[in-house]
């Protein structure tokens, strides 16, 4: 779909390693993390901001659409091309520089193509980390474009809270480079322009470098599995833990029996920690942590956690039915295995939802009661970040279910879930996965006209060229 003269021009800009056109070389970039697959005209792999600017400028001048792609770990078809073969992929995977640590400022200037695991591995020797905890291993540019949150949002916030500066290439005929790379934490001298590019799915510009806030690595950690006395007491349990533990509380993760059972079945190396192997209907992974080293005479964190849980359990009308403290690495291994376990349980139809914290369990109870009547044979395997109101609402359909052959079946499921979540419970249809092609129809439906006009105007000003998979 792209004329050969354009392919050759891009090759001249990027060199042999920087442009892929062979189907076998492009296959991994065309296939998403969850079922979506498109067809790319080419894959451009710039190795610097200057090369990114040159490629973007050429494509905009010649009307060639680009889809920015970071780690390709997204779940809403936001980083893969459509099936027309007319879009090029602009991959960040070679944008691995700079990596400049400022230990006094507790910041790092980093290339947007660096993976989260690589960044934290390099920071570990300095006793620091970028505090976004995820099951996947995305690249920084994609984390910024989707404003990821993760399991420790409760303590550290999302990506937006931890980005201090950006370098961005705009999709205009000049491939304009915006240097917004300040390492300042306080700078109220006008519009905070970097916010335009965080959480907007790469449609307003391509992040090539970033300045990130860093946090001290926890030096003491304790974890426990909590079994609430009932699902409607989960908010009370959360508030009790926050009241007793303050900033020590760093995670409060909810896991349903179906999700935990799927993980245990898929990963034989996991130890079933529950008495008699019976997984509770709903269990919470709670974590507390300190960044200071242990001091003589200081109460160990596992004892702190046991003391707090005992006080909650012994209280009148306790929201806690059972609890046990255990090794953090084992407890987090189970939590991080949930996604893969659920994915291998059947055909997965996944939702990334958020609610006010007091509404999340009411929503889950409502859906579990209504699912058998609405869609028999569909299993709910939910888990998520109860501390910030987020839930990965996963629906698993047996792979041999004949309804899967009908595209209208999944569409009807999505319509029902989003209607209940957004219209009945006032939630968000995308807590931290951004928009992408899968959620475009719901963006169009649920975004007020005034906001859509503003967003479209900003897109026209920043990146008028065809950029990204989302129409603002």
On whether both 122 and 206 belong to a single domain, the answer is: yes
Rounded Cα distance between 426 and 152, Å, is: 24
Tokens of 71: 């780690």
pLDDT at residue 432 in the model: 87
Instruction: Yes or no: say if 143 and 132 are a contact pair by the CB < 8 Å rule.
Output: yes
CA dist 156 → 142, 216, 380 (Å): 19, 11, 29
Secondary structure of 2-46 in HEC code, one letter for each residue = CCHHHHHHHHHHHCHHHEECCHHHHHHHHECCCCCECCEEEEECC
Domain housing 135? 99-216
Rounded to whole angstroms, how far apart are CA atoms 63 and 57?
10
Range list of β-strands (E), 146-191:
163-169, 177-180
The angle subtended at Cα 433 by Cα 363 and Cα 456, nearest 5°, is 110
pLDDT by residue (tens digit) across 209-225?
A: 999 999 999 999 999 99
Q: Say whether both 175 and 240 belong to one domain.
A: no
pLDDT at 2 > cutoff 90: no
Residue 27 has pLDDT above 80, yes or no: yes
- What does the alpha-carbon distance between residue 54 and residue 456 come to, in Å, rounded to a whole number? 25
Q: Residue 337 falls within a domain, yes or no?
A: no
Q: What is the mean pLDDT of residues 34-56?
A: 94
Q: How confident is the model at residue 316 (pLDDT cuts 50, 70, 90)?
A: confident
Maximal C-alpha separation, the chain: 76
Q: What is the pLDDT of residues 231-277, one digit of tens each?
A: 999 999 999 999 999 999 999 999 999 999 999 999 989 999 998 99
Total domain count, the chain? 4
188 & 242 share domain: no
Q: Identify the pLDDT of residue 74.
A: 83
pLDDT of the residue at 33: 79
CATH number for the domain spanning 384: value is 3.30.70.2740
Q: What is the CATH number of the domain that holds 172?
A: 3.30.465.10
Q: What is the pLDDT of residue 199?
A: 93
145 in the same domain as 67: no
- Determine, yes or no, domain membership for 106: yes
Q: Which of 56-60, 269-273, 442-446 has the highest mean pLDDT?
A: 56-60
Q: Are residues 81 and 38 in the same domain?
A: yes
Residues 75 and 136 in one domain: no
Produce one character per residue of 147-157: b if its CB has 16 or more CB atoms within 10 Å, e if not.
Answer: bbbbbbbbbbb
Rounded CA separation 340/135 (Å):
9
Burial 303-315 (b: 16+ CB within 10 A, else e): ebbbebbeebeee
Let me know whether 208 and 231 are in one domain. Answer: no
pLDDT of 1 > 80? The answer is no
Domain presence at residue 462 = no
The C-alpha atoms of residue 163 and residue 207 are separated, in whole angstroms, by 12
Collapsing DSSP to helix, strand or coil, 422 comes out as: helix
Q: What tokens appear for 11 in the block?
A: 């090759």
For 377-422, how does the pLDDT look when each residue is reduced to its tens digit (9 = 90+)? 999 999 999 999 999 999 999 999 999 999 899 999 999 999 999 9
Same structural domain for residues 137 and 169? yes
Domain co-membership, 301 together with 250: yes
| 98 upstream amide cis, omega within 30 of 0 | yes
Residue 263 domain-assigned (yes or no): no
Residues 182 and 228 in one domain: no
How does pLDDT run across 105-155, given as a tens digit for each residue? 999 999 999 999 999 999 999 999 999 988 789 999 999 999 999 899 999
CATH code at position 29: 3.30.43.10
CATH of the domain at 313: 3.30.70.2190
This prediction has a pTM of: 0.92
* Cβ-based neighbours of 193, under 8 Å, separated by 6 or more: 178, 180
Residue 287's Cβ-side half-sphere holds a number of Cα atoms within 13 Å equal to 25
Residue 58: which H helix or E strand, with range? helix 49-61
pLDDT over 90 (residue 73): no
Question: Of 45, 70, 91, which residue constitutes the final position of a domain?
Answer: 91
Residue 453 lies in a domain: no
pLDDT for residue 34 is more than 80: no
In a domain, residue 366? The reply is yes
Tell me the pLDDT of the chain averaged across its residues.
94
Single out the residue of 407, 415, 409 nearest to residue 445, CA to CA. Answer: 415
- Is 396 a domain residue? yes
Residues 315 and 367 in one domain: no
- Is 439 part of a structural domain of the chain? no
288 contact partners, CB below 8 Å, separation of at least 6: 221, 222, 223, 245, 248, 249, 250, 301, 304, 305
pLDDT score recorded for residue 78? 80
Pairing of strands 65-69, 87-91: parallel
What whole-number distance in Å separates Cα of residue 193 and Cα of residue 176? 14
Q: Are residues 82 and 116 in the same domain?
A: no
Query: Alpha-carbon distance 138 to 72, whole Å?
Result: 7
């Amino acid at each position: 779909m792209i004329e050969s003269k354009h392919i050759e021009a891009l090759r001249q800009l990027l060199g042999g390693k920087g442009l892929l056109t062979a189907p076998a070389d492009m296959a991994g970039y065309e296939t998403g993390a969850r079922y979506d697959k498109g067809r790319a005209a080419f894959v451009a792999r710039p190795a610097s901001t200057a090369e990114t600017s040159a490629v973007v400028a050429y494509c905009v001048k010649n009307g060639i659409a680009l889809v920015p792609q970071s780690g390709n770990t997204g779940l809403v078809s936001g980083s893969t091309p459509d099936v027309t073969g007319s879009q090029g992929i602009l991959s960040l995977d070679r944008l691995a520089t700079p990596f400049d640590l400022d230990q006094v400022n507790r910041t790092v200037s980093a290339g947007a193509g660096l993976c989260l695991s690589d960044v934290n591995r390099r920071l570990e020797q300095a006793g620091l980390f970028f505090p976004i905890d995820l099951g996947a291993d995305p690249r920084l540019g994609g984390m910024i474009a989707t404003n990821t949150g993760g399991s420790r949002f409760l303590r550290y916030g999302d990506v937006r809270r931890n980005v201090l500066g950006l370098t961005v290439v705009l999709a205009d005929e000049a491939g304009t480079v915006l240097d917004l790379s300040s390492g300042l934490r306080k700078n109220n001298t006008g519009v905070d322009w970097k916010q335009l590019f965080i959480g907007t799915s790469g449609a307003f510009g391509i992040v090539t470098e970033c300045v990130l806030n860093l946090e001290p690595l926890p030096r003491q950690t304790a974890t426990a599995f909590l079994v609430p006395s009932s699902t409607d007491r989960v908010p009370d349990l959360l508030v009790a833990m926050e009241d007793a533990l303050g900033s020590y509380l760093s995670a409060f993760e909810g896991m349903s029996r179906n999700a935990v059972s799927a993980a245990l079945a898929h990963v034989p190396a996991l130890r079933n920690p529950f008495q008699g192997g019976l997984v509770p209907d709903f269990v919470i992974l709670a974590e507390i942590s300190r960044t200071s080293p242990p001091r003589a005479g200081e109460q160990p964190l596992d004892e702190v956690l046991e003391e707090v849980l005992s006080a909650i359990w012994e209280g009148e009308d306790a929201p806690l039915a059972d609890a046990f403290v255990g090794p953090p690495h084992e407890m987090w291994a189970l939590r991080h295995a949930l996604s893969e376990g659920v994915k291998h349980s059947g055909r997965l139809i996944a939702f990334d939802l958020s609610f006010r914290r007091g509404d999340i369990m009411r929503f889950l109870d409502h859906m579990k009661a209504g699912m058998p009547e609405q869609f028999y044979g569909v299993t709910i395997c939910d888990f998520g970040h109860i501390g910030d109101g987020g839930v990965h609402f996963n629906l698993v359909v047996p792979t041999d279910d004949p309804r899967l052959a009908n595209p209208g079946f999944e569409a009807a499921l999505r319509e029902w879930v989003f209607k209940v979540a957004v219209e009945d419970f006032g939630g968000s249809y995308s807590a931290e996965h951004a928009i992408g092609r899968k959620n475009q129809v719901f963006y169009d439906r649920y975004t007020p006209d005034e906001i859509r006009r503003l967003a479209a105007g900003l897109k026209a000003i920043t990146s008028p060229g065809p950029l990204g998979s989302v129409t603002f």
